Structure 1
Amino acid sequence: MKRIFIVFAMLIACVSMTMAQEKQASIKFEKINYNFGKFSEKEPVQKCVFTFVNQGTAPLVINQAIASCGCTIPSFTKTPIKPGEKGEIKVTYNGRGTFPGHFKKTITVRSNGVTELTRLYIEGVMEEAK
């Protein structure tokens, strides 16, 4: 009877250890802030790229990238990113029709990673055209 109990306990321990090592994706951005600096109202469209790597053990999928304003448009890698590989989120800011001055916008990224939600920030100063 003791042997059956010991074998059963070892089986449970092995199963729980296997479940604890479940594969998961993990997103890691090189940077989460981008500053355009100063630019003229004559050239209101500015672009940047946020690069990330999947540091997990499962494929990473970006579910959505949503900007806090209609003047900011993110586009992202649609295919799953394998462990160790890189992906990118391209952001276009269009200041046409907005007032000159400082701006700061947020891009909310949702993924299947351990950290499901990440916020990226862009900012800059659009100077009045002279």
Structure 2
Amino acid sequence: MNTRLILLPFVGCLLFTTVAAQRPKRGEKPSAGQETSETAQARLRFVEPTFDFGTIERRGGDLIHEFEFVNEGTSPLVLVRVITSCSCLKAHFSKRPVAPGERGTLRITYEPHKREPGVFNKVIQIYSNSAGGRVVVTVQGNSVDTDRKTKNRN
């Protein structure tokens, strides 16, 4: 039998055990000079990850909501990129680092006139240097055309 086939899994297990033994256990603080990337990271948390605009007039103008977030990590947090699920959403955010424990805002502008009337649920993806990398927030509501309602009543 080929000794390479027998030794390969053994060496792999030995390597894994050695690396795992050098990591601090969950809940255990690393010793001095052993701070890991897990412990020195920014952590993005949105205070309110979903916002409901309620029932709105489709031609009533743009709607704005500011999502507040906090950096719960130990390193500065930087929002890198924000992707919206449709052209009816615009996102505005600062690229300045948010210090640990500090708060920031993500401003969302929803343009209901660009969509058909009805229930909507839009997704905003936020990419940052946070642990996990990507966070999702949503806006929802129901846009109506009051012109159509009056025409149907007559």
Q: Normalising to structure 2: TM-score of the pair?
A: 0.70
Q: Deviations over 1:12-49 (max 9, x none)?
A: 89xx7313374211111101100000011231411101
Q: For the Cα contact (< 8 Å) 1:105–1:123, is it kept in 2?
A: yes
* Deviation string, structure 1 residues 70-124 (Cα, Å, up to 9, x no partner): 1101111210000111011000000113211111110000010112100110011
Counterparts of 1:1-130 in structure 2, within 5 Å, are 17=31, 18-20=34-36, 22-130=39-147
Which residue in 2 is equivalent to 1:5?
none
Bigger CA radius of gyration: 2
Contact persistence 1:26–1:113 (CA under 8 A): yes
Instruction: Supply the distance in 1 between the matched residues of 2:128 and 2:114 (Cα, whole angstroms).
Output: 32
| Contact persistence 1:44–1:126 (CA under 8 A) | no
Q: Contact between 1:64 and 1:111, CA under 8 Å: does it hold in 2? A: yes
Q: Which has the higher contact order (CA 8 A, sep 6+)?
A: 1
Residue correspondences, number: 118
2:70/2:103 contact within 8 Å kept: yes
The structure with more strand, counted as a fraction of residues: 1
Mark the runs of 5 or more structure 2 residues left unpaired by the alignment.
1-21, 24-29, 148-154
Runs of 4+ residues over 4 Å off in structure 1: none
* CA distance in structure 1 between the aligned counterparts of 2:58 and 2:35, rounded to whole angstroms: 56
Range that drifts further, 50-59 or 93-102: 93-102
Residues in 2 aligned to 1:97 and 1:114: alpha-carbon distance in whole angstroms:
35
Residue 9 of structure 1 is matched in structure 2 by none
In structure 2, distance between residues paired with 1:27 and 1:41:
33
Q: CA RMSD in A?
A: 2.0
Unpaired runs of 5+ residues, structure 1, are: 1-11
